[in-house]
Amino acid sequence: MSKAVPEPVTKLIEAFARLPGVGPKTASRLTYFLLRSPDDLSLGLSEALRDLKSLTRLCSVCYNITTDDPCPICSDGQRDQRLIAVVEEPLDVLALERTSAYNGVYHVLHGAVNPVGGVGPDDLKIRELVARVDQGGVQEVIIATNPSYEGEATAMYIRNELTPKGVKLTRLARGLPVGGDIEYADSVTLMRALMGRSEL
C-alpha cells in the first residue's frame, strides 16, 4: 500500500481482504466506512469479534459451534436422539433448522472429503460419528452432505463406515441442485428433501 495510507488502515484493509468473498475494493470500503462511523460501531464490532473467539467452542457431542457444552440441540430432551443428520458445516445446521421439519440431532463434519484440496476422511469428524453410532441408541443416520462431488464422496465413505453397524442410512432426497450448498437452499426445498429422503 501507499505510504499515504496509515499502517492501521492498511492492516485492517488486508485483514478484511483475507475474508472469503471480500476483495481489495470491498475491504477498502469497509475500512473507510468504519473510520467515518461512530466509535460505538467499531468498538461493538471489535467486541463481537473478541467474543466470537473467546466464548464459542465445539459441542463435544455433535461438533456444532456453541457457547454451552453440550449444545442446546444435543441437550434438548424434546429432540429425537435416535435420529442424526450428518452435515458438512455449522451453517447447514441453521439451514435445516429453518425448515422446522426436523426434530433429530446433528453431527457436523467440518468439511467434506476432497483429495484435490488435501482433505481426507481423517481431517473430518467421521471417527467421532462412528463412535456415536457405536454407543448405541441411534436408529437412523441421515447423510445431509452437499450434492457435490465432495459431498457424494463423503456420503459414500460414511456409508462404508456405518453399513456394518446395522444402522439405517438415508440420504436427503434430490431436489437440491447438484453442485449447490445446503446453506443457500430455500426452506421449502430443504423440507421436501428431508421428507423425501431415501435409503443410501
Q: What pLDDT does 119 receive? A: 96
Q: Is 175 helix (H, G, I), strand (E, B) or coil?
A: coil
Cα–Cα distance list, 16 to 10, 45, 89, 127, 181 (Å): 10, 13, 22, 35, 24
**In angstroms, rounded to a whole number, what is the distance separating the alpha carbons of residues 168 and 52?**
37
The per-residue pLDDT string of the chain (200 residues; one tens digit each, 9 = 90 and over) reads: 567 889 999 999 999 999 999 999 999 999 999 999 999 999 999 999 999 999 999 999 999 999 999 999 999 999 999 999 999 999 999 999 999 999 999 999 999 999 999 999 999 999 999 999 999 999 999 999 998 899 999 999 999 999 999 999 999 877 667 777 888 888 877 887 787 777 77
| 139 vs 47: CA distance, rounded Å | 43
Q: Which domains are delineated in the chain?
A: 7-55 (1.10.8.420), 70-199 (3.40.1360.10)
| Predicted pLDDT of residue 185 | 83
Answer yes or no: are the C-beta atoms of 141 and 167 closer than 8 Å.
yes
CB-based contacts of 156: which residues, under 8 Å, 6+ apart?
none
Cell of 76: 434438548
For residue 1, the model assigns a pLDDT of: 58
pTM equals 0.81
